[in-house]
Chain A
Amino acid sequence: MNSIEEDKAVVARNVYFSYGKNEAVKNVSFECGNEFMVIMGPNGSGKTTMIKLIMGLLEPDKGEIKIFGKEPQKMRKLIGYMPQKESIARHFPVLVKDVVLLGINKKIYGRREIERAKRALDKVGLLHLWNEKFSNLSGGQQQRVMFARAIVNEPRIIIMDEPFNGVDIPSRERIMNVVREEKKKGNTIIAVLHNINPVLHDIDKLLLLNREMIAFGHPNDILTEYNLERAYGGTVTTITCREGYCHPLIGDSHG
């Protein structure tokens, strides 16, 4: 085995996965180190499935995934996860502190755990809502709390599934600031995004999916009209901004 690869946070090689006969992920390969990586593709293109494969919640039918060179199941403690917001229940009175503390794997929370949870909540600027009902928060604030839960264990890899859907701009920026900080600290951040434009300049690696892998690389190298058409099944207009980044005009109509 190659030692450089062993050090990489996430390595996927020719990964396949099907739900029964439904092939959700076909022949996907990528590598990601101390970077901000984004997974992008239309609805039902296997993005959430890919994330679950990375976390070892699903196992590839073919191919392999390594987290710091090891089996994903053994490395779960190093990963902080923020699920898609649709999978969260809001019909009972969990408090903000309950949500963040759930991220800490302990039966009983002592002062150390409380401190850790408070620090995580403070990073997203919501410490004052510690005792508030989660369901009373705005959509953006709820996502910030979920992000705080994802970072409460100071993970090496942060994985977020559509973190900015229905999120206001200040909340998004708050989360992105922490993402930038985490990257500086040497950590890895992987996010599924529909609309990549607001954060495009931060992205180091982009994985374009439509069940099969369309392209993987730096956004400027792979955001071509050809690739976007193959991913989205139609013509996608792009605009090149002053800094030379190619912005695809999609995503605003989603979620």
Chain B
Amino acid sequence: MVDAYIVRAIIAIILLAINASIAGSFTIFRNVTFLVVGSAHAALAGAALAILLSINGFNMDPMVGAILFAIIVSLAASKAKEKTNIAIGIVFALSMSLAVIFISAIKEQAARVWGLLFGDLLLLTDQDIAVMVVVTVLVIILSFYFSREFLFISFDKEGARANGINVDLLDYLLLSIIAISTVVIMKGVGAILVYAMLVAPAAAANETARSIIQVFFISGIIALFSGLSGIAITIYFPIAAGAVASLIASLFYIIFALKK
């Protein structure tokens, strides 16, 4: 018999791989890897705020708060990027400060945010999985429906605009999808490792793929393989599954980049 928590972990890894494939690939295409870490920090603030609100009688799933904050900061940072690097830095500093303030305000319950900080692949609840499924389905539908527009914007914004695409709006949507996927992946591997799990598989795939479709495919397989290996190893050794997964995903990038 396989334990229920292992089954949940495996389902989570499949969801992570889907997000790493779709959002990771678009992060590489759109050249916005710098947004991932910042929106992850913002997600911590959002989760802590949701818990704070819940303590005070306004019920909100921490993941919903995390997603909202991740989106807001991601959009703000992309706007700031057009100004200076300092402006993005300040946006990120702001979101980290808020994270620490909110976490310190929820003292006894701060441990609930640590799940997002360090990841808790083996501690996920049924409700966590349910939220991850809903969010992932949303990511799949939106990315599929707007795939042409997202590619066009990534390839050349001016051309996309001239072709009648609402570039500003759809670019925001694309960045929002990336932020949402960032939070889903954080549930599994935490804020510290989300960059490795979201960016590394797609970056590795981008080095070796011969077409756009292949990037999505190969990155998904790398993420899935890394995640499942992480779980398999932690069954026998007492180390963090998310960390092992991120390590393997990063190694893939190094190997593919060197091979080139």
Contact = CB atoms under 8 A, between A and B. Distances in A.
B225 interface: no
A89 B156 contact: yes
A55 B214 contact: no
Contacts of A55: 162
A222 interface: no
A3 interface: no
A84 B157 CA distance: 11
Interface residues of B, number: 24
Contacts, number: 71
B79 interface: no
A244 to B, nearest CB: 37
A87 interface: yes
Interface stretch (B93-101, B147-155, B228-236, B246-254): B147-155
B169 to A, nearest CB: 15
Contacts of B163: 76, 81, 102-103, 105
Nearest to B152: A102
Contacts of B158: 52, 57, 81, 83-84, 87
Given A89-B31, A92-B29, A102-B148, A76 B162 contact: yes
Interface string A55-99: 101000000000000000000110101011001110111110011
B212 interface: yes
20 contacts: A52-B158, A76-B162, A77-B164, A83-B158, A84-B158, A87-B159, A88-B159, A89-B156, A91-B31, A93-B210, A93-B211, A93-B212, A94-B151, A94-B212, A98-B211, A102-B151, A102-B152, A102-B159, A133-B210, A149-B159
B164 A76 contact: yes
B53 interface: no
A3 to B, nearest CB: 28
Interface of B: 28-29, 31, 145, 148, 151-152, 154-159, 161-164, 206, 209-212, 214-215
A87 B161 CA distance: 12
A87 B157 contact: yes
Contacts of A149: 159
A107 interface: yes
Nearest to B157: A87
Contacts of A79: 162
B155 A88 contact: yes
B215 A93 contact: yes
A149 B155 CA distance: 13
A98 B156 contact: no
